[in-house]
Structure 1
Amino acid sequence: MQNIAQDTANSVCPVCGMTVDPALQPVIAPVAMDSGDVIVRIGSCGAQHHDVIQRSPERYAVAAESNLVAKFEDG
């Protein structure tokens, strides 16, 4: 598994779109890619959204890498 960066992948919280709080520990999400697995560090705006991301980091990894709010078909 490759470690792509030490910083968070995003500056926008993938839950709500607010600015990521750099004082919070990022959520670590392993992501499978064609070139091999990578680790995405997902930043959040606050403790509550950190917990939301922590419960299902794979759902937020792509949005974090694109610096966008995650959109889900299931709500």
Structure 2
Amino acid sequence: MSLLVQNLLEKGETSIYDAMVRALESIMLPAVLSETRRRLQEACDILGIARNTLKAKMKDHCISIDQRISSRTESPDQNLTTSH
């Protein structure tokens, strides 16, 4: 994460806080959802956030719940993915 911050600073980026939160969420949300086998309430308990907040974050990160947590960023063979 520190390298990402340094790269953003070197590029003169603004809104670094938002970029870092988004990057962390894009890793954390799919991992927790996978660990909980897509049980939203259990994921909420682990994350310490409300169900509506989790659903909003999932929508922001294009994470859907069906047979898998689906994505365009990882191969279709993997169980855990997110799309941006």
TM-score, reference length from structure 2: 0.25
Name the structure with the higher strand share.
1
Whose helix proportion is higher, 1 or 2? 2
* TM-score, with length taken from structure 1: 0.26
Whose relative contact order is higher, 1 or 2, with alpha carbons under 8 Å and at least 6 apart? Answer: 1
Larger Rg, first or second structure (1 or 2): 2
